[in-house]
Amino acid sequence: MIVDLHPAVVADAAPVPANQFSGSIPDDKAMLRAAAELTRDISAARAAIYWPDMLVSALVGYAAMAGAILAAPLWLKLSCGVLSALALYRALLFIHELTHIHRDALPGFRLGWNLLVGVPLLTPSFMYENVHTLHHARTRYGTADDPEYLPLALMKPWSLPMFIVVSLLLPIGLLLRAAVLVPLGLVIPAIRTLTWERASALAINPAFRRRPAEGAFRRQVLWQEAGVWAWSWLLITAAILWDWRPLAIGLAIVSATALLNQLRTLVAHLWQNEGEPMTVTAQYLDSVNVPPPGLIAELWAPVGLRYHALHHLLPSMPYHSLPEAHRRLSRHEGALQTYPQAHYRGMLPLVGRIARSTMGRRGA
C-alpha cells in the first residue's frame, strides 16, 4: 500500500465531468506561453545528473537483488527485495527519458542504459521508443490511436483490479517473448509479425498495432532483440543446470517493479476521455501532478514522473528540470488559473477517485 503521508499544500482538484475532457476545452494560451518562455534556460539534459543517477540506481538494484538471493534470514531477503525493486524501478524509468531527449543530447547514454538495464531486465529501449511519442501527439492523445490510453474511469468495476493484477505476469511474459517468440519469429514470419505488432511495445491499449521498424531504428531493434534472446537463455540455462531459485527471486522483484509502475500508470491520468481529440489544455487537465512537499511520491513516481501533467506541457524537458519548471509556473500570474487544477495529494486519493468512477458504471 502506497500513500503520501506528508501534508499536501494543494487540495485535490474538483472532479471534472468526463464529457468536459474533450476538444471543447479551449487552450489556456497564457499558461502554454508561460510554460514555454519560462523554461528555455533549463531545457538541456545534463549528463552529470543522468549518468550518476542511472548508474547508482542500477548498482543498488542489482546489489540488493544479490542480497535477496544470498541472504539467509527471511527479513533480510524481503528487505533486500524491496530495496532492489525500488532501485531497479527508478533505473528502468529512464526509458521514459530516452524517448524524449534528442539522440545527440547524451552521447552513449542510450547504449549504456540498454546494456546495464534494458537488456538484463528484458525491457530494451525499443519497446518504448517510437511508441510513447504517439501518446504525446496532439491528435492521438486519448483516442483509439493512443497506445497508452484507456478510459479506465469509464469502464466496468472489474477492469480496475484486472488492470493492476495483470502487471504481475509481465516478467514471465517478457521472458517467454525473448526466449521463445523472438527465435521462432526468425523462421516463422507470422510469429515475427505477431510478436512485433502485439508484444513489442509497452502499451496498455489492446487495439494498438505497432508499425514495422525502419532505418537506423530497425538496426537498434535487431541488436537489442539479440541481446534479450541471449540473456533470456542464459537465465533459463542457469536455472536448469544450477539453481532455479535465483531466477524465481529475480522474477518476483521485477514483478514488484511492474506492479509499482502499473499503479503509477493508473494515477498518471484521470482516464476520462471517451476517444475524441483534445486540446493541449484538456490533455493537461486529464493528467496528474503530485507536487512537493510530500516525499513518498519520489518512490512511486521517480525520474520526474510526479510532474506528469507538467510533462505533457513540456514533453522534452529533462526530468531534473521539472521541479524548477513547476516552481516557476506556480508563481507566474499567467498560469495561476489553470496550472494548479492538475495537482493532487497522492496515489490513494487518485486510486479512490477512479474506483468510485468505475463503481458508478456498475449498471451502465
pLDDT tens across 141-185, in order? 999 999 999 999 888 888 889 999 999 999 999 999 999 999 999
173, with CB counted inside 10 A (0-12, 13-18, 19+), is middle
Residue 56, pLDDT above cutoff 50: yes
Task: Please report the pLDDT score of residue 280 as a whole number.
Answer: 94
Cβ contact 316:43 at 8 Å? yes
Q: What are 194-205's pLDDT values in tens digits?
A: 999 999 999 999
Q: What is the per-residue pLDDT for 85?
A: 98
Q: What is the pLDDT of residue 10?
A: 40
Could you tell me if 280 and 177 are in contact, meaning their C-beta atoms sit under 8 angstroms apart?
A: no
- Average pLDDT (48-60) is 98
Contacts of 305 (CB under 8 A, 6+ apart): 93, 96, 264, 268, 311, 319
- pLDDT tens track for 64-77: 999 999 999 999 99
Tens of pLDDT, residue by residue over 213-256, are 999 999 999 999 999 999 999 999 999 999 999 999 999 999 99
pLDDT-based confidence at residue 11 (cuts at 50, 70, 90): very low
pTM, to two decimals: 0.92
pLDDT of residue 295: 87
Domain spans of the chain, in order of start: 18-359
pLDDT at 361: 58
Q: How confident is the model at residue 8 (pLDDT cuts 50, 70, 90)?
A: very low
Q: Print burial letters for 217-249: b (CB count within 10 Å at least 16), e (below 16).
A: eeebbeebbebbbebbeebbeebeeeeeebbeb
pLDDT band at 13 (very low <50, low <70, confident <90, very high): very low
- Could you give the C-alpha distances from 321 to 44, 58, 110, 247, 326, in angstroms and in order? 9, 22, 20, 37, 9
> Computed from CA positions of residues 191, 197, 202, 203, in that sequence, does the dihedral angle turn out positive or negative?
negative
Residue corresponding to grid cell 515475427:
192
One-letter identity of residue 262:
Q
How far is residue 164's CA from residue 162's CA, in Å, rounded to a whole number? 5
- Residue 339 reports pLDDT greater than 50: yes
- % of the chain surpassing 90 pLDDT: 82
Q: Which pLDDT score is estimated for 19? A: 39
- The whole-chain average pLDDT of the chain stands at 91
CA angle 276, 154, 259 (to 5 degrees): 105
Q: Spell out where the chain has E strands.
A: none
Tabulate helix, strand, coil % of the chain (nearest 5).
60, 0, 40
